[in-house]
């Protein structure tokens, strides 16, 4: 199927490299843009493989297919296949290969390795193992391999693994780690190096930074660009998604939305502005299904003011807002509040607003984050008495953990033994352990005060929860139940309130529902849902915005009736609520 020449303005597609990596802040539209690109190239007659490295991918919903860890043909696009690097399947396969290498070893040694391979770090490196096979000679029959990646922080971690593991394996042939015997890992070093070489080759690989016309998304894209360049990935492009242009100069909401986007783009850092750039207009439809995805990269048609204004009332005003949620949470003297959800739904803003609201209620609050791409400092832009703000910094926590181990277990060792111990602690797996210990400390703080935890996007958070569950099982087994683990505290509804944040759109609601199912399987019951950025109550008549309102109301009813025990709604704001005063307004009672 040949597409229209109206796509010629989308310069990314004029001479694409074989490997295309789409990355960016959660919620900017990486999956939509990467999938639309894959469909276009396939429609042009190319054989294309679309690969998701996101544990919380929604490609299955967008394309109406079941994702697997082998290529699945896409009905309606004959030369396009989709592959999902599922972390759990990858880890299971990886464990099998490592154990197979130990054939003939004593059972006691095999058991030790099997236990070491049970951690979340094994899951991460196993996913990279599959990922690297695609870069180092796998699937040669495809003209293009397009990667739809996890949100930025997790993707940077993935892309840094070749250097991290190549450095760790150098001159290290001893013992075993949470990845299995080092001797077995040395066999894979050539694949790691080949993957890194391909990633750094501008002839073969292009990194596509996706952002929205929002200051936070653009700032993260600039930061990501610099970090990727430091890893050797210098062939970069920028796609700005969901660019909005108002059609009615008298519609205050629409004009304000356009102005905010234009200001964000005008203040773009020079390093990002220098990259080749494409733009995608905000669409009046959800990008679900082939028909919508095929339209995404075309120039958007101009809709008339009467092109279908919403028939819906502003019944959203009947839903309680964040002020009511804060009042409910503040009824206790302490507690852990974990804000969770898909990347890009506004978790950080909601977490910061809840923390500010609790402080205004006279509470002492510790606000922290487990997100590798933390934005708390940018969101708060100031200090507030009674509010402690920090983040779990993986590098700092790893150094703290290494120093502690060397000062305790290494204190009575010889210098040679200390050198060996320090060498072992340089393993990237140490970071997983260090971050988990920091997470456990913060969870324990809620015994005597309020802790608000802004979590990483869904997939990364579930890996942390897996580590929490593994630790729980180990402690219960070793101490025969005489212990209170972090998982037990999270499962306790009197101790922990889980807040699921979503947007009034089909895919975010579906993903929040799936996250809720995952939590319930771990005996963790969400306390409430927050529907963020609702346009229903703004009264806009702009045709693009109005066309989106019917779908928004359907999603709100879907959540209220069948998914959430408690639903709180936050309206779309003309300006992002950045700073203590703006966050205070967000949690101020409508009557006050």
Residues with a known catalytic role: 27, 29-32, 54, 507
DSSP string of 417-439? Answer: HHHHHHHHTTSTHHHHHHHHHHH
Q: Are 370 and 385 in contact (CB under 8 A)?
A: no
Let me know: does 330 contact 363? Beta carbons within 8 Å. yes
Rg for the chain, CA atoms, rounded: 24
Q: Is 457 helix (H, G, I), strand (E, B) or coil?
A: coil
Burial class (CB in 10 A: 0-12, 13-18, 19+), 249: exposed
Residues in contact with 193: Cβ distance below 8 Å, sequence separation at least 6, in sequence order: 162, 166
CA distance linking residue 238 with residue 254, whole number of Å: 25
* CA 511 – CA 507 distance, rounded (Å): 6
Cα separation, 41 vs 43, in Å, equals: 5
Coil, helix or strand for 235?
Answer: coil
3-state secondary structure at position 240: strand
Measure the CA–CA gap between 533 and 219, rounded to whole angstroms.
Answer: 20
Q: At what angle do helices 458-479 and 152-169 cross, to 10 degrees?
A: 60
- CA distances (Å), origin 582, targets 124, 356, 360, 586: 38, 10, 13, 6
Q: Centre a 10 Å sphere on the Cβ of residue 547 and count the other Cβ atoms it contains.
A: 17
84, 89, 91, 93: CA torsion to nearest 10: -110
Using CA of residue 264, residue 270, residue 271, residue 274, what is the dihedral sign?
positive
Three-state DSSP state, 569? strand
Main-chain phi, psi angles of 213, to 5 degrees: -75, 60
Kindly write down the DSSP assignment for every residue of 514-548, as one continuous string: HHHHHHHHTT----EEEEEEE-GGG----HHHHHH
Q: CA-to-CA distance for 93 and 87, rounded, in angstroms?
A: 10
Q: What share of the chain is helix, strand, coil (3-state, %, to 5)?
A: 50, 15, 35
According to DSSP, residue 247 is labeled: S
Residues 449 and 364: their CA atoms lie apart, in Å, by 6
């Amino acid at each position: 199927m040949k597409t229209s020449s109206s796509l010629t303005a989308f310069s990314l597609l004029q001479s694409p490299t074989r490997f295309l990596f789409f990355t960016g802040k959660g919620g900017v539209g990486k999956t939509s843009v990467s999938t639309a690109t894959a469909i276009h190239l396939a429609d042009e007659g190319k054989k294309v493989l679309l690969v998701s490295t996101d544990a919380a991918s929604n490609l299955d919903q967008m394309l109406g297919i079941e994702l697997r860890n082998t290529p699945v043909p896409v009905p309606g696009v004959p030369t396009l296949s989709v592959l999902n690097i599922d972390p759990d399947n990858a880890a299971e396969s990886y464990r099998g290969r490592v154990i197979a290498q130990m054939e003939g070893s004593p059972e006691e040694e095999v058991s030790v390795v099997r236990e070491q391979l049970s951690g979340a770090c094994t899951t991460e490196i196993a996913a990279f193992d599959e990922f690297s096979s695609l870069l180092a000679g796998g699937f040669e029959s495809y003209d293009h391999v397009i990667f739809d990646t996890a949100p930025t922080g997790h993707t940077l971690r993935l892309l840094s693994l070749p250097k991290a593991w190549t450095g760790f394996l150098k001159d290290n042939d001893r013992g075993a780690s949470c990845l299995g015997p080092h001797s077995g890992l040395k066999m894979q070093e050539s694949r790691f190096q080949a993957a890194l070489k391909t990633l750094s080759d501008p002839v073969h690989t292009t990194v596509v930074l996706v952002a929205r016309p929002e200051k936070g998304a653009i700032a993260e894209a600039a930061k990501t660009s610099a970090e990727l360049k430091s890893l050797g990935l210098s062939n970069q492009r920028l796609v700005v998604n969901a660019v909005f242009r108002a059609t009615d100069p008298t519609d205050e909401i629409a004009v304000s939305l356009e102005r905010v986007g234009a200001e964000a783009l005008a203040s773009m850092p020079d390093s990002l502005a220098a990259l080749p750039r494409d733009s995608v207009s905000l669409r009046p439809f959800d990008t679900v299904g082939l028909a919508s995805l095929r339209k995404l990269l075309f120039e958007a048609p101009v809709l008339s003011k009467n092109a279908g204004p919403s028939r819906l009332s502003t019944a959203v005003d009947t839903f309680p807002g964040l002020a009511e949620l804060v009042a409910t949470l503040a009824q206790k003297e302490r507690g852990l509040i974990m804000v969770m959800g898909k990347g890009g739904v506004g978790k950080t803003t909601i977490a910061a607003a809840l923390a500010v609201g609790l402080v205004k209620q006279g509470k002492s609050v510790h606000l922290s984050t487990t997100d590798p791409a933390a934005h708390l400092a940018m969101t708060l832009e100031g200090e507030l008495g009674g509010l402690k703000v920090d983040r779990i910094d993986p590098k700092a926590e790893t150094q703290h953990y290494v120093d502690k181990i060397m000062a305790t277990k290494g204190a009575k060792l010889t210098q040679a033994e200390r050198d060996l111990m320090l060498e072992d602690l340089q393993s990237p797996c140490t970071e997983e352990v260090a971050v988990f210990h920091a997470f456990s400390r913060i969870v324990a703080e809620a015994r005597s005060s309020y802790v608000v935890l802004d979590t990483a996007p869904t997939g990364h958070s579930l890996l942390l929860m897996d580590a929490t569950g593994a630790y729980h099982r180990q402690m219960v087994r070793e101490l025969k139940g005489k212990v209170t683990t972090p998982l037990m505290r999270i499962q306790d509804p009197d101790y922990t309130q889980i807040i699921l944040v979503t947007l009034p759109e089909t895919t975010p609601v579906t993903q929040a529902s799936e996250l809720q199912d995952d939590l319930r399987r771990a005996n963790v019951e969400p306390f409430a849902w927050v529907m963020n950025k609702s346009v229903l109550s703004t009264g806009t008549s702009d045709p693009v915005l109005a066309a989106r309102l019917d779908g928004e109301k359907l999603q709100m009813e879907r959540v209220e009736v069948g998914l959430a025990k408690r639903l709180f709604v936050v309206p779309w704001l003309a300006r992002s609520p950045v700073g203590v005063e703006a966050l205070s307004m967000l949690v101020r009672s409508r009557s006050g």
